[in-house]
């Protein structure tokens, strides 16, 4: 049996989705600037480090936001929480059922 989060959770997450994405992108952009600012190695070394960072970041964005639909909301919430985008205050606004499911899955 699959878990389908209540509609109120879906509506709440849709409401904050753009803020979550903006928060993640801000973090990615700051990390990118840090890579370039560090000045370690050659220009090419910094380019390669930045490229690897962007590739990794793109996978995280995909895990958290691509194919964003209610039927896979629980998986998206798990990814958002794992990547520290979904904060405790966001989780507190979810239904008790969804919070319990997230807590059980976080134990793994």
Rg (CA), the chain: 17
| CB contact set of 41 (below 8 Å; sequence gap of 6+) | 49
Quickly list H helices, 6-85: 7-38, 43-65, 73-82
Report d(CA 104, CA 108) in Å as an integer. Answer: 7
The confidence band for 1, taking pLDDT boundaries of 50, 70 and 90, is very low
| CB contact set of 80 (below 8 Å; sequence gap of 6+) | 20, 64, 86
pLDDT tens figures, 55-80: 999 999 999 999 999 999 999 999 99
pLDDT tens figures, 11-47: 999 999 999 999 999 999 999 999 999 877 899 999 9
- Total-model pTM: 0.88
């Amino acid at each position: 049996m699959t878990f389908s989060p209540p509609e109120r959770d879906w509506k709440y997450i849709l409401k904050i989705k753009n803020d979550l994405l903006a928060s993640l992108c801000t973090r990615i952009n700051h990390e990118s600037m840090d890579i370039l600012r560090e000045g370690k190695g050659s220009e090419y070394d910094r380019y390669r480090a930045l490229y690897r960072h962007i590739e990794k970041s793109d996978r995280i964005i995909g895990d958290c936001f691509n194919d964003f639909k209610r039927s896979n909301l629980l998986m998206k919430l798990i990814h958002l929480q794992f990547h520290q985008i979904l904060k405790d205050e966001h989780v507190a606004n979810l239904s008790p059922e969804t919070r319990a499911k997230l807590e059980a899955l976080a134990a793994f």
